[in-house]
Amino acid sequence: MEQKKHGCMDILVIASCYYEVKAYSPYVTSLVNSINVLHELQLPFDYYELSGDSYVDRAKNALVHRFLKSDASHMLMIDSDEAWDVEGFCRILKAAMMGAEVVGAAYPCKNNWEFFGCIPNKSEDGSFLGKEIGETRLLDMWGIPGGFIMYSRKAFERTRPNLDTYTEPTTGEEILEAFKCNIEPHKIKTKEELEAMDKEELAELAYKMQKGLRGSGGRIGEDIYFQKRYKEMGGIVWLEPNVTIQHYGIKAWEGNYHDFLLRCKAESEIEKAVGSTEAETAAMLAALGKGGQCASL
């Protein structure tokens, strides 16, 4: 059967890590439903799994290494403790087919139900930044969680000059360190600051960097590490907000970031209308009464 053309996507890889060598049954159901969609689209795909590695950054790097050695153009990394809606899966596919190099979905964090693990970029007036391509609306993000995210080959190749490599001891292969739990210094020295340093100061800084001792900073996870390196090379991290994902632990935490944003907007409008406290509401009603407008209330 002749394969259909799907924009810039040739072959898709779906990849998951299994630390405990098991997946939640809703994950399996969602995976089967998504594979049925890929068959309908006649989109070639492969499936990668890696089980038993307790270091999530190393496990993800192994998956990236296998992906870069293949002929696939895109890899969708999904955590094995999630379930997702097929419509949202298709939206992620569509965004990638239209050229989004890195695009993912947000989901509720366990034990922090109102936080979706993502940080949007906003304009000075507080508006969300993003773009529209037809009916597809993507948000420009500072960072997104790595549990449901599509990476293109182009994204890894763009970022490669900004990443380190390490040697896999069992095979001797050079592995691209795309993912890394890291300490990011609070302040990176500028070129001018470096030029102003004397020889002894530069030698001390070089020694600390060589030993990984760069002073205090903020700890970031492996997914944000890649996204920061990627954005430093001119990339944009996109979010497709309208994806419903269930995040499983003892129970499922379900959320749709698009609906969450609409709810936040509605709550804001209600607060403006009635006040955030009883005292503010009473004062607003009193003001309306003085203006002769309370009869309609």
d(CA 49, CA 73): 18
Q: What is the pLDDT of residues 149-166, one digit of tens each?
A: 999 999 999 999 999 999
Query: DSSP assignment, residue 295?
Result: G
Q: Counting every residue, how long is the chain?
A: 297
Q: What is the pLDDT of residues 62-100, one digit of tens each?
A: 999 999 999 999 999 999 999 999 999 999 999 999 999
Query: Are 153 and 74 spatial neighbours (Cβ–Cβ below 8 Å)?
Result: yes
Specify the residue for token string 């391509």.
133
Give whole-number Cα distances, 284 to 55, 56, 296, in Å: 56, 53, 14
The predicted structure's pLDDT at residue 66: 97
Give whole-number Cα distances, 295 to 278, 288, 290, in Å: 20, 9, 11
Q: Is 63 helix (H, G, I), strand (E, B) or coil?
A: helix
d(CA 15, CA 126): 35
CATH fold for domain 12-181+223-274:
Spore Coat Polysaccharide Biosynthesis Protein SpsA; Chain A (3.90.550)
Q: Write down the domain spans for the chain.
A: 12-181+223-274, 185-220
Residue spans of the chain under pLDDT 50: 1-2, 292-297
